[in-house]
Structure 1
Amino acid sequence: MAEAGAESLAEMLDERQHLLEIALWMFGSNLAADHVVQETYRRWYSLDDAARAGIAVPRAWLTRTAGSICLAMLTDPDHVPTTPGRPPDPVTHRAVGQAAPGPELLARHDRVARRFAGACAAGDTAELRGVLAPDAIVVSDGGGKVRAAVRPIHGADAVARFVAALLIGQPGTEVTLGSVNGRTGLVLRRAGRAVAVVSVSVAGSEVTAVWIVLNPDKLRRWH
């Protein structure tokens, strides 16, 4: 992980837990979530040194890759594992799996998430665009019960438009901060009932990915 432009090892290791949490949101299965993370890191380590060195923000790359794997599994249930696969590489699994987010990473995530939430609450699309990384993505999960984007949306402009249409300016919607999988996220409520839970992935001072859960079945505990 010593490539030029790569983030610190601690940040790379910390991202694994976040990827696990995202996959658990999508599938509710530890087995499926572990498969997503193993496949994400398998693709990372299958890159040659030159390819990895050319990735300016590994965290963003990992997040996008995990998102595409999740979406492929959601659209093709046959790809969702139901029996344990081969165990991950013991060195990689042990080193990555035991990492815990440090206070500095959590504090930075909190600052960026609050800026994102503030833009949503204020309906400030310019500020929203400003907090997004140029290659940001948004993935939404409606569970087939609520209209959501079928595929990830790429690019800060497109993400800002989608988030603004979905989260900003909806009558009677209250945007609040909440702890989402142990990190600062957003909870949107109407008439006291949760209608969306939003988590963001952060690199530096920018949001690299927005994960929106709209599936009513997954929102019950947030009411």
Structure 2
Amino acid sequence: MTDHTTPRHDESDAGLDALISERRRLIGLAYRLLGSLAEAEDAVQETYTRWYAMSRRQQDAIASPGAWLTTVATRVCLDLLGSARVRRERYVGEWIPEPLPGRTDWIGGRPGTTVTGSTDPADRVTLDESVTMAFLVVLESMTPAQRVALVLHDVFGYPFAEIVDMTGRTPAACRELASSARRRARAALPPETPAAHQARLVREFKQAWEARNITALVGLLAPGATLTADGGGMVPAVLHPIAGGEGIAHYLTDLAVRAAGSLRLLERPVNGRPGLVIEHAGVTVAVYAFDVADDRITQIWVMRNPDKLRPWTADSHR
């Protein structure tokens, strides 16, 4: 008996592989929009659920499944961003984005494309800087529409004509949203610091902290430096940012004294930048991300919320 379904089966396998290959890019998009890997994974799962809820005829009628998945994922993220603002109003303490271990090239942008529609090639956000903690924090200050327009255009290279379908705005409105978001980001972010230079400062910071050397810590911190911690109400963490290099130095030294040598400080990449991982009895209990300007540490973000440390419980950061 002749099996007439084999060609169709092969075609289905190829289509399935193409759909699955989109997942990493979609998670990268959703992570930048939501600032949470867990929420990004949920958004992408919901996107695929909607795809497979359609009939085969409906799926075949879609000319570009990748574009369809991107559009739906973006809309899911927009819905989540709306509800997230309400949830974060009830959040205990400060909310900061979820840090990622190691390299971040696995959540890269749209392959094989370049940003279009920009009169100045410098008016774009690079893939590397789009996942730094500093940039993700700036995204949190933007409206959901600004965030979507900036990330889709500047990071993932989508022309404004395509972003229209994802946001329901006109191309001109999308262009203005991206432009205003870009201005806000450029005003808030310091000039890029070479990774080797930041790594040296982080290493010296680690050594000074381990030695409980307040003078050395103050020298490494900018006078107007800020430390922000996120415990989510689940573990002890400062509820409000600590401002000033001296205040931060004293706070960290007090932590070291109370820990009495029970903590292990490890130099590890955090969102692609030099950072620190704090372990207790072999378990990650905190992740420190840094921002540097003018040879000083200007910002420290401390993640203590166990739910947001989930990616660090595996050995991927070693």
Shift of 1:176: 0.9
**Counterpart position of 1:214:** 304
Shift of 1:187: 0.6
**Counterpart position of 2:222:** 133
Shift of 1:161: 1.4
- Residue among 196, 202, 207 paired with 2:292: 202
- Residue among 28, 35, 46 paired with 1:24: 35
- How many equivalent pairs are there? 158
Q: How does 1:12-51 map to 2 (within 5 A)?
A: 24=35
Between the aligned partners of 1:210 and 1:110, the Cα distance in structure 2 is 14
Q: Decide whether the 8 Å contact of 2:193 with 2:292 is kept in 1.
A: no
The structure 1 segments of at least 4 consecutive aligned residues displaced by more than 3 Å after TM superposition are: 25-32, 86-97
Q: Decide whether the 8 Å contact of 1:114 with 1:177 is kept in 2.
A: yes
> Structure 1 pair 167/140, CA: closer, same or farther in 2 (3 Å)?
farther
| 3-state DSSP of counterpart to 1:85 | helix
Structure with the higher strand share, 1 or 2: 1
1:193 and 2:286 matched: no
User: 1:9-46: per-residue Cα shift (whole Å, max 9, x none)?
Assistant: xxxxxxxxxxx97x8269966765xx9xxxxxxxxxxx
Q: Decide whether the 8 Å contact of 1:123 with 1:169 is kept in 2.
A: no
Q: Decide whether the 8 Å contact of 2:193 with 2:293 is kept in 1.
A: no
Between the aligned partners of 2:204 and 2:36, the Cα distance in structure 1 is 23
Q: Decide whether the 8 Å contact of 1:26 with 1:141 is kept in 2.
A: no
Between the aligned partners of 1:93 and 1:210, the Cα distance in structure 2 is 23
Give the alignment's TM-score, normalised by structure 2. Answer: 0.42
Between the aligned partners of 1:25 and 1:167, the Cα distance in structure 2 is 29
Larger Rg over CA atoms? 2
- Residue among 208, 215, 218 paired with 1:119: 208
Between the aligned partners of 2:298 and 2:37, the Cα distance in structure 1 is 18
Q: Decide whether the 8 Å contact of 2:226 with 2:243 is kept in 1.
A: yes
Between the aligned partners of 1:107 and 1:126, the Cα distance in structure 2 is 23
Between the aligned partners of 1:28 and 1:167, the Cα distance in structure 2 is 33
> Structure 1 pair 26/141, CA: closer, same or farther in 2 (3 Å)?
farther
| 3-state DSSP of counterpart to 1:145 | coil
Shift of 1:164: 2.0
Unmatched tracts of structure 2, length 5 or more: 1-30, 41-76, 86-133, 151-175, 314-318
| 3-state DSSP of counterpart to 2:259 | coil
| % identity of equivalent residues | 31
Q: Decide whether the 8 Å contact of 2:224 with 2:243 is kept in 1.
A: yes
- Residue among 123, 136, 145 paired with 1:85: 145
Give the alignment's TM-score, normalised by structure 1. Answer: 0.58
Between the aligned partners of 2:249 and 2:289, the Cα distance in structure 1 is 15
User: 1:31-75: per-residue Cα shift (whole Å, max 9, x none)?
Assistant: 65xx9xxxxxxxxxxxxxxxxxxxxxxxxxxx6xx58x96xx9xx
Shift of 1:221: 2.6
> Structure 1 pair 185/212, CA: closer, same or farther in 2 (3 Å)?
same
| 3-state DSSP of counterpart to 2:195 | helix
Aligned letter for 2:198?
A: H
Alpha-carbon RMSD across the aligned residues, in angstroms, is: 3.8
